[in-house]
Structure 1
């Protein structure tokens, strides 16, 4: 019976064949232990000299790291294994013998591993992170489909910017200027006016020369937009979504979290509702904590966000930021013209902002005024203004950065490990 490592639990005490690679091995005089991987998981294969042909045992002792093979054996339940099963090997058939595999079971520097990212992905920890990423993607679709949202695909090449052009990659679109998208939001708003509630899920690009552990040049964003939804209701949807992701990872990725050594109590605490504080209150807390280098109107940096998150055992919403810090499309607060109806969701443990969102301006004249105030070309945003011209309604939206969320829920140090092939300030390869 041919199967995969993930499915061996269906075949306890039966003989199966698995296509696999050798992740590692060790042996004594009479037993060889093969650490096998097949993409679906990892399992140990035990080759007992007295129970197999001499040639098979010789193969087991000499086979090299990352060689590919077909392994036949009997599935055994094993409580000592984190996976719960092991394979008593009866036969080995080498497909391709690997030689001089560069990533050996020893410490390698980060730059070396990043240079060999195409191979580093095969390691057990990187495999675990990618599986958690996959679960977050699946759970994202599950959540929004269950909530009645429609998936909308926004363009990657755009003729205008939602947040100004200073951090955009510019290119030529035949005989006119174009940009790599930094957000699908404006197009999602158009979708929301047609379909009610939509979400986009795609790559975004920021030409930001940052080297922090939180930033990538190319990353994936989940961006819902919701008609007839105002600020407070949007916050409720955001916290329900993040809670849904965390609990799904806890339920479906136990083995991966164990491999990564993740403190699962931190994930158990991620359940709605989340605390909410205004920017003004956050500033007071920071001043009380000795951050005397910040004043009203300044944006919060990583140290500030980390200090604020330490107050809470859950993610915290910081709401009502100064208007001067935020993009042109955010709805002003009804009682103050210097702050807007927005929120950043700050993750604990130093992971920083994972969601940014707001209620959007729905008044035509006010939006036109803000476009002019931000020195944006009116003709480029005329289609966006049309959304306020023909049946405008209150609406809200937000964006969640996938890689930062993967890093947070996985408990890994740097976002570069949360995507298959990260694009960093000085890294375009592999």
Structure 2
């Protein structure tokens, strides 16, 4: 089974909680705080494995969650960081955010890695909060939650040569003849619904991977027919073999077919117009094919277009060896890595930034009688705060005053007893004297 699209859930591990503890040893009077920090949660990392060819495994496992960091220990010992979760994906996988459809990473090279969901930081233990004025703090932070999201994986076939052309022009038959692949072949449109791959042995010691790509129709660049399901695979191929029904068995003009397919490729991605292309004039064993071929060559010359034409018959296997030799020769002149759309090396950078500016702005608006404060940094602060201790509550209140939240609420009309909502938490506003 070839699976080229999957939707999965990923979550980085939560950070471990910091510890409130005090040193209590026989010869260490008034030992002070000894609570250690919690460990960081594990990241979810995608790693390219050239041994994989499909996304079929993601049909059966759709949730990937890294482990949580260990809680802080006494004697100021740090909790252990959790191990990262490594998810193996095949080369050619593009990772998109399901909500924004933004490309997160484009993974092409064996061993390439990218962090998809960052683990949460461990909370600080009470040792970190000791000051000259408070030598025995009972404050410790909760670990941060790991990042989570749904992502879409799209696999673009990693093939050296891609067979393109209208439906039923003989692409699947050609692939079955030149390789060990056994694609489904039928005398009706869209017999091929997913790409078929085959290894082609040229016969002189050279070999390459050929992909029989689903048939194309007008409007495919806008998603008509198989549309984008087809075109995204073409981007990965280094050489295009354009298969044309030179006998016109479907009642269409071969040259007109060739123009329409090339126009769809160009409209989808202008760079495909410059991709090396060989024309496989198929079905030459059928009467009138020679007449169409001469007309095809004349129209090609009239437009000053130069593309090598190879008259072949996938049924009788005539002319195929010359086509394979030429494809192998072309591949030797083209870089091994597939030529893809311009992505700013997304896979070489960190996709997410967990540590936003703590002094970032906040927004306040009314929701009926309640005041709602929106600020990612304050929401993270709430999740890190352990509200079971009075000292932690007072520290949280001091931070809000320092950020100017209290003042802004008063200016908006908040009074004693007014409900204030921050994230999933609700508080009662208390006017300080």
Normalising by the smaller structure, the TM-score range is: under 0.3
Greater share of helix: 1
Find the structure with the greater CA-based Rg: 2
Greater share of strand: 1
